[in-house]
Amino acid sequence: MGVSQVEFYGHVRQYHNLKNEIDQAIHEVLESGSYVQGPRLKQFEQELAHYANLKESVGLNSGTDALVLVLVALGVGPGDEVITTSNTFFATAEAIWLAGATAVFVDIDPDTCNIDPKLVKAAITPRTKAIIPVHLYGQSAEMRALDKIAKAHSLYVIEDCAQALGARGDDFEFGELSNAVCTSFIIQKNLGCFGDGGAVITNDSGLATEIRKLRNHGSLERSHHSMGYNSRLDEIHAAVLSVKLKHLDEWSELRRERAKQYDSGLVGTSLKLPTVRPGFRHVFHLYVVETEDRDQLQAYLKSEGIIAQTHYPIAIHQQEGYPWGRSARISGSLEHTERSAARVLSLPMYPELTAEETDTVIEAIRSWEKSRNVAAGSAAR
């Protein structure tokens, strides 16, 4: 197989752009002899908290663990219900299940693909303990509306911010209207390391301490206060993330520029383009369009050497692997979630994507559309 014209990710490009700094940071860790729970982790945690404008951050093994450990630390477990969406990466629901609680799925707002706050209220029962909104594709969920519901019903709010570090709402920052923000540092995310990593960011120092304990076998100093997990962000990745965090805002701007270019290049086609809520700062983890002929478009782009992917083609409640029964239930209909799963297509989107490559994608989509219209026209005759 030849090299694709437009790749889906720019990981190696990003590494090459920062090669000296990253190599140096890794080298320093190797020479330091301190590889886990050392000074680089502490430093990165401070930098991340500062970036988020929140009091504390705790570096962990993964974004999945971030969600699990927050749930466990807040005492959400067996018998409790957690409201979220089915239109997300599997880990969101998996975390609820791993904590022993029951996931309750409500439908999404079809415009943004984020949780529809209007449906949350109807899903609340006496067992409801928390809401996990997912800031899907890089756009904040409607935290203001969710906060109101959570306050009225004394629920925790845990932000799944794996895709949206740096996003903002119209009148709120992330972390401002929740108990904790969970994020992931796998390379595909907007801030990524060279393996697994995640973090919890929060203004609640007690919660941060509890999670620090849980990530290290229930131990803060020497003794073990409880059972815990082994879920630490290692020094090499903390050092790499410190280098990269300085570039996150500039990368978000580049993503937004490419998104603008897609928007203006694809306007007037039959595709549904991303909806950005007025005043929201979308950081375009993914640029997702929708079409009934998704599979056809994806195959056409592939034939043109352009890689497009699907996030997510199978909703969680339709996955074979989700443990039903006590572990999950559906509130209302999930028609928008199911419709979106069948229609979404993610176009190449990363800070290192060039304007020329973006144009190549736009032109390919336009010629696909033209050939379809010609075919439809001749069929009509």
Ligand X SMILES: *Cc1c(COP(=O)(O)O)cnc(C)c1O
**Which of 45, 160, 357, 369 contacts ligand X by CB under 6 A?**
160
Nearer CB in complex with ligand X: 89/174: 89
Nearer CB in complex with ligand X: 134/365: 134
Residue located via tokens 């490559």? 357
Residue 184 within binding range of ligand X, rule CB under 6 A: yes
**Which of 117, 198, 274, 351 contacts ligand X by CB under 6 A?**
198
Residue 314 within binding range of ligand X, rule CB under 6 A: no
Tokens representing 109 are 């707002």
Distance between CA atoms of residues 232 and 219, nearest Å: 12
**Which of 91, 236, 297, 306 contacts ligand X by CB under 6 A?**
91
Q: How far is the CB of 294 from ligand X (least distance, A)?
A: 20
Q: Are 192 and 11 in contact (CB under 8 A)?
A: yes
Other beta carbons within 10 Å of 196: 19
Edge-first strand order for the sheet with 156-160 is: 56-60, 198-202, 180-184, 156-160, 128-131, 81-85, 102-106, 328-330
The residue at minimum Cβ distance from ligand X is 63
Q: How far is the CB of 94 from ligand X (least distance, A)?
A: 8
Nearer CB in complex with ligand X: 102/183: 183
Stretch that binds ligand X, among 39-47, 158-166, 228-236, 238-246 (CB under 6 A): 158-166
Residue 201 within binding range of ligand X, rule CB under 6 A: no
Nearer CB in complex with ligand X: 108/162: 162
Q: How far is the CB of 201 from ligand X (least distance, A)?
A: 14
Sort strands 81-85 and 56-60 into parallel, antiparallel or unpaired.
unpaired
Nearer CB in complex with ligand X: 63/166: 63
Nearer CB in complex with ligand X: 169/365: 169
Q: How far is the CB of 189 from ligand X (least distance, A)?
A: 6
Q: How far is the CB of 5 from ligand X (least distance, A)?
A: 27
Q: How far is the CB of 126 from ligand X (least distance, A)?
A: 27
**Which of 92, 102, 114, 291 contacts ligand X by CB under 6 A?**
92
Q: Are 201 and 70 in contact (CB under 8 A)?
A: no
Stretch that binds ligand X, among 160-168, 266-274, 289-297, 328-336 (CB under 6 A): 160-168
Residue 134 within binding range of ligand X, rule CB under 6 A: yes
Q: How far is the CB of 66 from ligand X (least distance, A)?
A: 8
Site for ligand X in 14-73 (CB under 6 A): 62-64
Q: How far is the CB of 48 from ligand X (least distance, A)?
A: 15
Which is it for the CA torsion 302, 362, 336, 105, positive or negative? positive
Stretch that binds ligand X, among 159-167, 219-227, 228-236, 265-273 (CB under 6 A): 159-167
Site string for ligand X, 263-282 (x = CB under 6 A): --------------------
Q: How far is the CB of 132 from ligand X (least distance, A)?
A: 9
Nearer CB in complex with ligand X: 93/364: 93
Tokens representing 276 are 């950005």
List residues near ligand X by CB under 6 A: 62-64, 88-89, 91-92, 134, 160, 162-163, 184, 186, 196, 198
